[in-house]
Amino acid sequence: MLRDPTRGGLATTLNEIAAQSDVGIMLNEASIPVHSDVAQACEFLGLDPLYVANEGKLIAIVPEDEAEACLAAMKSAPHGEESAIVGTVTDEARGYVQMTTLMGGVRMVDWLNADQLPRIC
């Protein structure tokens, strides 16, 4: 499954997938690549980078036994060097996205209740 996270970012797109596919998704915060300039801008503006539009990005959900080969192929492609495995699909908490935080806790990555930014595309 391939999805474009331009509108709503990683969190919204994964919540859509979890709800539509009746699966749980567990993210690992430490594995999610966020450029330092994006992190700083989000902190300054009070935004959560998980919900910020991701123009030109791709979410690929592949079978676990094919994930490493898929990642290697993506990393070898132009502009794919920062590709990463950021989570897993689970049978637990179906319809929800959760995330293991940098502190080791688990939190819900819920639907955004309002637009963080006006729609840009």
pLDDT score, position 31: 97
Whole-number Å distance between alpha carbons of 17 and 19: 6
- pLDDT per residue of the chain (121 residues) written in tens, 0 to 9: 999 998 889 999 999 999 999 999 999 999 999 999 999 999 998 889 999 988 888 999 999 999 999 999 999 999 999 999 999 999 999 999 999 999 999 999 999 876 655 555 5
Whole-number Å distance between alpha carbons of 37 and 14: 23
pLDDT score, position 118: 52
Question: Please, what are the domains in the chain?
Answer: 2-108 (3.90.650.10)
Burial level of 32, CB count in 10 A (0-12/13-18/19+)?
A: middle
Whole-number Å distance between alpha carbons of 104 and 82: 23
Q: Which amino acid is at 12?
A: T
3-state secondary structure of 60: strand
